[in-house]
Amino acid sequence: MNINIIQIVLTVCITLIAIYMYMRLRSGLFDIILIGLFFVGGIFFTFFPETTNAIAHFVGVSKGANLLLYSAILFLFFLILKLYSRLRKIEEKFTELVRNKSLEEAEEMKEKD
Amino acid sequence: MTDTKSIFVIIPCYNEGSVIRQTVEEVLAKGYRVVIVDDCSRDNSRKQLSGLPLYYLRHRVNLGQGAALQTGIDFSKKKGAKYFVTFDADGQHDCNDIAGMVEFLEQENADIVFGSRFLPGAKTNVSRSRSVALNLGRYINYFFSGILLSDSFNGLRLFSRQAVEKIKITENRMAHPVEILMLTAANKIKYAEYPVAIHYSDYSKGKGLKNKDGIKILFEIFLHKIFR
């Protein structure tokens, strides 16, 4: 079996990401299963890339790489929207905090003659 | 005749030290209560106001004009205001218009009166390019809110107590005029327009909205529509 450079690079990256994710969120069984699936799936598709073509054909896309690109764009777009909405919520809370503080500290200035 | 002490004039300010005192003195001379919301100015605004009888609030962090207005409204509500006026700090408005707006609101039985520099009877020295931009802006506001005003971005407005109970500004920065319109429409608040003077000085031209800010406002409204 021939091993390409890209397969080595991908294997190293996937392994490192899996280890990092495991260290970050080793809390529950669910996380471990998720990370395990990511790891096994990633390695599998790295060494048997033709299988992605089969999946792509099944949903009506010509190549596995294209399918990956389309789904990645959709996923990233979804992620950006989520981040924006999170950002707005944080800003709302932050505004409330600053506002309440300023209401507490409001001063009534008096006329000086 | 409404008691002028029940009319709260909310003036958001951000680095307006050179003009704020004159603006405030004119409003105070009319007998209105003044609420200054200092949006974390880095200049001497606070010192400029010393010796004037007013309420002074300060945001510890700069949040934007919309946020400052809402802070001023919240505060005035607590102080038992009957009428809430939003007023720009840069001296472009004429406080002589406020009395007429209050009278008009009562006469029309409305809950919001929007000041307009484009109605017959309004005195203004608005430039031609600004005029075109504002005209475009009013159709964009109409598109988003369903309310077509003659002047889309006028900082002088009058709210009744009933109106401020229903309107809460969450757009901290430049999109708040549109948000106010959207909330007015959504809550079916009765509104009217009243001709007011706008005097652009070289100072006020340098501050405030620029025509190019239109793009930013559009983007903020777009986000507002998606996430609310």
Q: Report pLDDT digits (tens) over B142-194.
A: 999 999 999 988 999 999 999 999 999 999 998 999 999 999 999 999 999 99
Helix (H, G, I), strand (E, B) or coil at A80: helix
Residue A71 touches chain B, beta carbons under 8 Å = no
Which of B104 and A56 is assigned the larger pLDDT?
Answer: B104
CA nearest neighbour of B195 among B100, B92, B112, B84? B100
A84 contacts B227? CB cut-off 8 A? yes
Mean pLDDT, chain A, as a whole number?
A: 89
Is the pLDDT at A49 greater than 70? The verdict is yes
- pLDDT tens per residue across span A66-76: 888 999 999 99
Strand B191-195 to strand B112-116: parallel, antiparallel, or no bridges (unpaired)?
Answer: parallel
CA nearest neighbour of B39 among B24, B22, B58, B21? B58
* Contact indicator for B73, B164 with CB cutoff of 8 Å: yes
Is the pLDDT at A1 greater than 70? The verdict is no
Is the pLDDT at B82 greater than 70? The verdict is yes
Q: Structure tokens of A47?
A: 């060494």
* Contact indicator for B173, B65 with CB cutoff of 8 Å: yes
CA nearest neighbour of B112 among B170, B73, B139, B140? B73
* Contact indicator for A106, B75 with CB cutoff of 8 Å: yes
Which of A98, A111, A112 faces B60 most closely, judged by CB atoms? A98
Residue holding tokens 């800003």?
A91
Residue A24 touches chain B, beta carbons under 8 Å = no
- pLDDT tens per residue across span B23-72: 999 999 999 999 999 999 999 999 999 999 999 999 999 999 999 999 99
Q: Residues with Cβ < 8 Å from B175, sequence gap 6 or more? A: B66, B217, B220, B221, B224
CA nearest neighbour of A112 among B3, B102, B54? B54
Q: Dihedral of the CA atoms B17, B18, B24, B25 (nearest 10)?
A: 130
Say what the ipTM of the complex is.
Answer: 0.90
Which of B51, B58, B172 faces A111 most closely, judged by CB atoms? B51
Number of domains in chain B: 1
> Which residues in chain A have Cβ-Cβ distances shorter than 8 Å to B227?
84-85, 88
What pLDDT does B4 receive?
92
Burial of A39 (0-12, 13-18, 19+ CB in 10 A): middle
* Contact indicator for B141, B178 with CB cutoff of 8 Å: yes
- pLDDT tens per residue across span B107-132: 999 999 999 999 998 888 888 888 88
> Which residues in chain A have Cβ-Cβ distances shorter than 8 Å to B63?
95, 98-99
- Least reliable range by pLDDT among A35-39, A90-94, B4-8, B78-82: A35-39
CA angle B217, B222, B227 (to 5 degrees): 125
Q: What is the CATH number of the domain that holds B156?
A: 3.90.550.10
Burial of A18 (0-12, 13-18, 19+ CB in 10 A): middle
Which of A54 and B59 is assigned the larger pLDDT?
Answer: B59
Q: Please tell me the distance from the alpha carbon of residue B9 to that of residue A110, in angstroms, as a whole number.
A: 17
Percentage of residues of chain B with pLDDT beyond 90:
75
Considering only CA atoms, give the Rg of chain B. 16
What pLDDT does A27 receive?
67
What pLDDT does A41 receive?
92
> pLDDT band at residue B214, thresholds of 50, 70 and 90?
confident
Is the pLDDT at B95 greater than 70? The verdict is yes
Residue B77: domain span = 4-227
Mean pLDDT, chain B, as a whole number?
A: 92
What pLDDT does B145 receive?
92
> Which residues in chain A have Cβ-Cβ distances shorter than 8 Å to B169?
none
Percentage of residues of chain A with pLDDT beyond 90:
51
Residue holding tokens 């109409």?
B142
Q: Residues with Cβ < 8 Å from B23, sequence gap 6 or more? A: B11, B16, B87, B89, B90, B91
What pLDDT does B113 receive?
97
Identify which of A3-7, A21-25, B37-41 has the greatest average pLDDT: B37-41
Q: Please tell me the distance from the alpha carbon of residue B48 to that of residue B21, in angstroms, as a whole number.
A: 6
Is the pLDDT at B87 greater than 80? The verdict is yes
Q: Please tell me the distance from the alpha carbon of residue B54 to that of residue B81, in angstroms, as a whole number.
A: 14
